[in-house]
Amino acid sequence: MNAKKKFDHSNDLVFLPLGGTGEIGMNCYCYGVGPADDRQWLMVDLGVKFGEETDPGIDVILPDVGFIASDKANLHGIVLTHAHEDHLGAVAWLWPQLQCPVYCTPFAAQILALKLKEAGLDEEVPVKVIPVGSKFTAGPFHLEYISVTHSIPEPTALLIKTKQGTVLHSGDWKIDRTPVLGQGMDEKRLRAIGDEGVDVLVCDSTNVLREGFSPSEAQVADTIAAIVAEAKGRVAVTTFASHVDRISTAVRAARATGREVVIAGRAMRNTIEAARACGMLKDSGRLLDEEEFGYLPPDKVMLLCTGSQGEPRAAIARIAEDQHPHVSLDPGDLVLFSSKTIPGNEKEVSRVLNNLARLDIDVITGEDALVHSSGHPRQDELKLLYDWVRPRALIPMHGEPRHLRAHAIFARKHGIEDVVIPRDGHITKLMPGPLRQIDEAHFGRLHVDGRLIVPSEDGPAKQRRKLSFVGIILVSVAVNSKQDLAADIEVVTDGLPHGLQDGLQEAAEKAFEGTPKPRRRDVNVLGETIRTSVRRHADQIWGKKPIVKVVVHEV
């Protein structure tokens, strides 16, 4: 914590992102007030990012919150803006390090409860349920959840008032004036807080490269209703499991055409239960289980399922491979991808689309018709929010570096001159005076590997990535007290081409024989001689240098 002491900024309001400003996902933003050596912290959002192929065996990535955890007595709460995984998903993993109250809306509380229960933390974590539109306080932070529109129930922007100044933290949002569920965007309140004065807007940058205004959920609903009304055979709709608005839209399209609705996918079932517990989807009637799908006439059924990102174990992927235990589709049936492909998932989605094509099943995606609309603001929506809130300064968040840079250029072009592009770990002074980076904090990522949390840098995933390119050779040698072999040298390989075995064995034996007896006494020398020789042989034949480990038993 030495870093904190470099400056005296006792009257500062500072901003410290620990995730979410350099890549999509894993959102974690900290606000601090007070003297640098006794800063009081508030954390906004604590999300995960999903693993990529470059980190093999890693499904979930967490922000390293060690910097805040080491000062946890000064952490007054974690406030969740909404229930998406990239904003809420890390709480159950990291709360034990942070040990503070968690504030969230009723719907987010339902989703969080499932995760805490799974982690055995449901009795421990003090979850404070705050209705959308309410004010609350966490230490020196006076907070207010302001209703916005997004692609999940109860999305909020967070107004953060401190004696040092006022920040509007936008969360994920768009301006949808005809949403199908929820309270809608609270334009009135946003204008009012603009009148009251906002120093800094910390703002979603995801869609800043897109011109214009996002289509409304109501337009999407009209399109889906029209498509379902025309369908002659079975209809399957796949969307994000958490997108309750879209689930509601699909169910209404089904009901309007006399179709029963079958749900496939545990995550979607969980969402529906959470929504119903919060009073949503009350009029959607009975939703059937996948076992019932096969008994319904093709024109009397809609399947609502997970897998819109091509996840290989999700319902639609298995249906496309004709491997689902209860659901199968026939030529001429229709699958609606009511989703967008998140960058990085293109290949997986493509695989599902190709499998459906092989089964001669019709597919409609967001590229063919308005069956999806993003939950993030395009340029005209950003301009409107700027107009309502009139912030003195802006920090772009949520996005890759190119989005953050484009947002900075865009904001300056639209009259907000004080803009700083944040980087994870940078401590930016928001108030008083202009935005300025004043310090740095440790940040990083953690991998969830099996059931363990492990470091991402030089961790096991990195070792495994190396293994995945070059494979491994184990050589085991038993040497007796005369420095002779006590048994045959054993060579075991994994991930190598066939046909190398004999040569490797020979290389190991030659290396042993070529080592003079006195030198064999030094197990390290002997091991290294064999290792080098075996590795060189593999390289000569194969053109790759595998990992070689040598064990020497002295018997």
Q: Which of 61, 28, 23 is nearest to 344 (CA)?
A: 23
- Supply the angle between the helices 401-413 and 379-389 in degrees, to the nearest 10: 60
488 binds a second copy, rule: CB under 8 A: yes
Interaction between residue 298 and a second copy (CB under 8 A): no
Choice between 280 and 491, CB closer to a second copy = 491
For the CB of residue 208, give the shortest distance to a second copy in the complex, in Å.
12
Contact flag: residue 322 with a second copy (CB under 8 A): no
Interaction of residue 544 with a second copy, rule CB under 8 A: yes
Considering CB under 8 A, how many residues would be counted as binding a second copy?
A: 66
Q: How far is the CB of 80 from a second copy (least distance, A)?
A: 27
CA 365 from centroid of its chain's CA atoms: 23
Q: Does 37 bind a second copy (CB under 8 A)?
A: no
Encoded tokens for 390: 């009139």
Which of helix, strand or coil describes residue 526? helix
Q: To 5 degrees, how large is the angle CA 525–CA 530–CA 536?
A: 125
State the Cα–Cα distance between residues 82 and 432, nearest whole angstrom.
Answer: 29
How many CB atoms lie under 10 A from the CB of residue 69?
Answer: 14
User: Whose Cβ is closer to a second copy: residue 104's or residue 420's?
Assistant: 420
Assess 57 for contact with a second copy (CB under 8 A).
yes
Q: Is 353 in the site for a second copy (CB under 8 A)?
A: yes
Measured between alpha carbons, how far is 78 from 88 in angstroms, rounded to an integer? Answer: 10
- The CA angle 244-249-46, to the nearest 5 degrees, is 20
Q: Are 307 and 316 in contact (CB under 8 A)?
A: yes
Q: How far is the CB of 316 from a second copy (least distance, A)?
A: 14
Among 126, 412, 492, 519, binds a second copy (CB under 8 A): 492
- 27, 45 Cβ separation under 8 angstroms: yes
Q: Minimum CB separation from a second copy for residue 363, in Å?
A: 7
> Using CA atoms, how far apart are residues 25 and 51, in angstroms rounded to an integer?
11
The residue among 184 and 495 lying less far from a second copy, judged by its C-beta, is 495
358-397 positions binding a second copy, by CB under 8 A:
358, 360, 363
- Closer CB to a second copy, 331 or 518, in the complex: 331
- Amino acid letter at 555? V
Nearer to a second copy by Cβ, of 267 and 472: the residue is 472
CA distance 140 to 167: 14
Nearest-approach distance from CB 499 to a second copy, in angstroms: 8
Q: Which is nearer to a second copy, 251 or 461 (CB)?
A: 461
53 touching a second copy, by CB under 8 A? yes
Query: Residue from 54, 211, 286, 524 that binds a second copy (CB under 8 A)?
Result: 54
Q: Among 480, 461, 463, which residue's Cα sits nearest to residue 471? A: 463
Report if residue 483 touches a second copy, rule: CB under 8 A: no
- Residue whose structure tokens are 């006792």: 10
CB of 511 to a second copy, least distance (A): 17
Which stretches of 398-507 are assigned E, i.e. beta strand?
A: 418-419, 426-431, 436-440, 445-449, 452-455, 472-479, 490-494
Does 547 engage in binding with a second copy (CB under 8 A)?
yes
Least Å distance, CB 485 to a second copy, is 9
Angle between helical axes of 106-118 and 91-98 (0-180°, round to 10): 80
CB of 29 to a second copy, least distance (A): 20
Strand ranges across the sheet with 362-364: 288-289, 260-264, 301-305, 235-238, 334-337, 362-364
Q: Is 541 in the site for a second copy (CB under 8 A)?
A: yes
Are 355 and 390 a contacting pair, CB within 8 Å? no
Strands 58-63 and 49-50: antiparallel
Among residues 17 and 155, whose Cβ is nearest to a second copy? 17
Using CB under 8 A as the binding rule, whether residue 323 contacts a second copy is answered as no
Residue 1 interacting with a second copy (CB under 8 A): no
Q: SS3 of 425, please?
A: coil
How far, in whole angstroms, is CA 17 from its chain's centroid?
16
Residues 429-468: x/- map of binding to a second copy (CB under 8 A)? --------------------xxxx-x----xxx-xxx-xx
Tokens coding 190 = 């946003």
When binding is defined by CB under 8 A, the residue of 490, 517, 522, 528 that contacts a second copy is: 490
Q: Which stretch binds a second copy (CB under 8 A): 49-57, 63-71, 269-277, 387-395?
A: 49-57
> Closer to a second copy at the Cβ: 289 or 367?
367
Contact 253, 242 (CB under 8 A): no
Q: Which of 205, 308, 355, 456 binds a second copy (CB under 8 A)?
A: 355
Interface mask (CB under 8 A) for a second copy, residues 331-350, using x and -? ------------xx-xx--x
How many residues comprise the chain? Answer: 555
Task: List residues binding a second copy (CB under 8 A).
Answer: 22, 52-54, 56-57, 343-344, 346-347, 350, 353-358, 360, 363, 400-402, 404-406, 449-452, 454, 459-461, 463-465, 467-472, 474, 476, 478, 480, 486-488, 490, 492, 494-498, 541-544, 547, 549, 551, 553-555
